[in-house]
Structure 1
């Protein structure tokens, strides 16, 4: 083999590549498609997510936007929690009540506790009324406290939604009431305007509420609490989430062990909606159902999703930390005591797999260009465990393992072994050899 061909061979083997790795031999029908065929969820849209992995176990019209009704308040809750963590508010911060918040709070056909304009409430008073009893006036008061006006707060809601990856979300108010209900207090969206979110967006928000501010669950799981601020006699706030343990025998048909949140919603336009979360045996699920036909149906459909998630799936490892990746070409190394280095997974990855089925998954491995020279080679030394790229879980055949967030299906790729640098004298002779190889290659190209 002449010098030109030899150099070409090393250049090709060192180029950035995408490696399809097939683990397992059987093909598996798409988990989400199977769920859609068999569950028959009676809702306009729905989604079920395994919180620990971010894996989507079921979805139906998950990207179609609908009015979320009071599930809107999860974003208001998120931003209140954010303000508390950023020390812009404390639980004891006093909040004044505007005419807008006052007028809405007096309408008891909505979810509300009546507020007074001559009384200052604490953030905790209003947050508990909003999170437990879905009080609309309380949500407006908190929005105005943080944003200065509800319109400014809605802008903040949209900015935050974008940061959280909620690609289809659009907020115009803090409560989920429609402009037809708000009347003269509506600030944008026209006479028939409403917030618009998809089930996937709401699941992303629920995930972040739980991950970023888990203490929110300590309030969302409260079954009953009295509202005592500024009232002559306590107002009993019964949580609208009938799946919570502790609501009494009259709600026993909906109770589901381990449920601790998150938010219901209902308007004539939105129908009956529910974002639920449950934790059993260390494993948490998040569900969203939108547009069911009745108060009870939203919980019955959620129960179907929870049962499906817990009873039909089990965890299986598809990649283990430090496991060498089989069936792949080693990466070329320049100036190393070895000419190549093998790759390994930098962390473990588990999938929730339908019972009785074997995962048929594919990984695409991409090397970090910043670590490679112009010929696609790594420069020695290379440390064992040094990250040199990432592996992306990809669709293979009929298998579909969707994740809520793109990064959930990525794991780092590392060097499986250490490759030390050659001594200076070896590098010198290699340099001389490369120099003459270049000359011979140039000559060969001339003749």
Structure 2
């Protein structure tokens, strides 16, 4: 019995020694332990999910809502429906909200006029709620119309499991009786996955947003009696109190219902990550302003320390054993095939060899014998190459079509001209007599 236990113990030691990356991965996953109701960590370029906790649970998003308002504004600017220097005349609703000192705001004069750029800066840097409503009114005529646009855009972006009832992320009870969508005490809700998708699309479709989200401090209405110093609520920006290298966005959020929330993004050496924490707490289960940044830092540390961008398969890559395809009716009887572009993805350190090529040929291009038919043009698509992981490990992505980001076209590497009628005729004759001779030969063999 003693020998059996010793043998088992030695076997375990050998396993841990032979597969150190496996053990390390389990230890890291167990040690991450994000203190939040929900969280997600995503590599921005491909949307690969590196960590998640309750990613599809629908929760309050508070002022992370303003990412949708930013998206719709930047879209309106791009389409020419709104101009940066366009002036906004303050409504009664916006004026009342702007002077509520319990909310994040820049005070606006009832008879004042403000351009869209300064309202956008106040919203993006200082999470100014009245400025946000002003933008909503500018784009849609009313906040109610704008909320419909928000929900329609969320559906278009495939965010799933969401509901917007206002443009700011405040509780409707804070809106001085002006709320027109949802119950009086309702708030905007979404999942961590949906919030990360929104952040991903915002950065991808309008990267210029980072020029503003990365500003640590700015003065609103500088040079006037109404000037107010704005410090970015994202205290992870490098020059602020919880500064973290590479952070340049994106949006905090806080309400009693949602708790302490933060959508962060950071880039180092060309690799960008997106994080979301919802109702973050410290190690003692308490909600502190710092806790959302501490929990975000855990995910950034995990990503930057343990993952790196790798070219898994280069441009012009040829799959071993499938470097050519047979060709019929061509001057050549086969054609080389190769990838049009490289496949690049973030992978855990030391695990590059776990990823193998997966070739899928376009069956519509092949005949019943698996042949391409000439003529074939160089660069003509014949299939796709993607990756698979050994041991059937799953690669999770932020969106359903995320795998498209690690899939490239496989194309013909050369032209194959169609053979002329005489060559085709002679091949046909040769094939006929070859088949005839084969049949006679088989018959004769059967006699003996």
Post-superposition shift, 1:139?
Answer: 0.6
Q: Which residue of 1 aligns with 2:37?
A: 44
Q: Which residue of 2 aligns with 1:93?
A: 86
Within the candidate set 304, 325, 333, 2:327 is matched to: 333
Q: Which residue of 2 aligns with 1:410?
A: 407
TM-score normalized by the length of structure 1: 0.82
Say whether residues 1:163 and 2:151 are aligned partners.
no
Higher relative contact order (CA 8 A, sep 6+): 1
Structure 1 residues 341 and 69 mapped into 2: Cα distance closer, same or farther (>3 Å)? Answer: same
Q: For residue 337 of structure 1, give the secondary structure of its aligned residue in structure 2.
A: coil
Q: Which residue of 2 aligns with 1:381?
A: 375
Within the candidate set 248, 251, 271, 1:263 is matched to: 251
Post-superposition shift, 1:137?
Answer: 0.8
Whole-angstrom distance in 1 between the partners of 2:20 and 2:140: 52
* Worse overlay, 405-414 or 90-99: 405-414
Check whether the contact 1:48–1:56 (CA below 8 A) recurs between aligned residues. yes
Say whether residues 1:277 and 2:274 are aligned partners.
no
Q: Which runs of no fewer than 5 residues in structure 1 stay unpaired?
A: 1-25, 438-447
TM-score normalized by the length of structure 2: 0.82
Post-superposition shift, 1:388?
Answer: 1.9
Check whether the contact 1:29–1:399 (CA below 8 A) recurs between aligned residues. no
Structure 1 residues 34 and 48 mapped into 2: Cα distance closer, same or farther (>3 Å)? Answer: farther
Post-superposition shift, 1:370?
Answer: 5.0
Structure 1 residues 436 and 122 mapped into 2: Cα distance closer, same or farther (>3 Å)? Answer: farther
Structure 1 residues 428 and 177 mapped into 2: Cα distance closer, same or farther (>3 Å)? Answer: farther
> Aligned residues, how many?
409
Q: Which residue of 1 aligns with 2:278?
A: 290
Say whether residues 1:424 and 2:418 are aligned partners.
no
Q: Which residue of 1 aligns with 2:306?
A: 312
Post-superposition shift, 1:430?
Answer: 5.8
Whole-angstrom distance in 2 between the partners of 1:296 and 1:303: 11
Say whether residues 1:244 and 2:244 are aligned partners.
no
Check whether the contact 2:319–2:359 (CA below 8 A) recurs between aligned residues. no
Give per-residue Cα distances to partners, 1:117-151, cap 9 Å, x unaligned: 31111001110110011011111110111111222
Q: Which is greater in Rg?
A: 2
Check whether the contact 1:27–1:360 (CA below 8 A) recurs between aligned residues. no
Within the candidate set 377, 382, 385, 1:391 is matched to: 385
Give per-residue Cα distances to partners, 1:135-171, cap 9 Å, x unaligned: 1111111011111122221222222223333233332
Whole-angstrom distance in 1 between the partners of 2:63 and 2:433: 74
Q: Which residue of 2 aligns with 1:18?
A: none
Q: Give RMSD over aligned pairs.
A: 3.1
Q: Which residue of 1 aligns with 2:354?
A: 360
Check whether the contact 1:69–1:265 (CA below 8 A) recurs between aligned residues. yes
Whole-angstrom distance in 2 between the partners of 1:427 and 1:30: 61
Check whether the contact 1:28–1:359 (CA below 8 A) recurs between aligned residues. no
Whole-angstrom distance in 2 between the partners of 1:104 and 1:211: 32
Check whether the contact 1:143–1:174 (CA below 8 A) recurs between aligned residues. yes
Q: Which residue of 1 aligns with 2:188?
A: 195
Q: Which residue of 1 aligns with 2:14?
A: none
Post-superposition shift, 1:102?
Answer: 2.1
Q: For residue 341 of structure 2, give the secondary structure of its aligned residue in structure 1.
A: coil
Q: Which residue of 2 aligns with 1:10?
A: none
Give per-residue Cα distances to partners, 1:96-126, cap 9 Å, x unaligned: 2222222222212111112233111100111
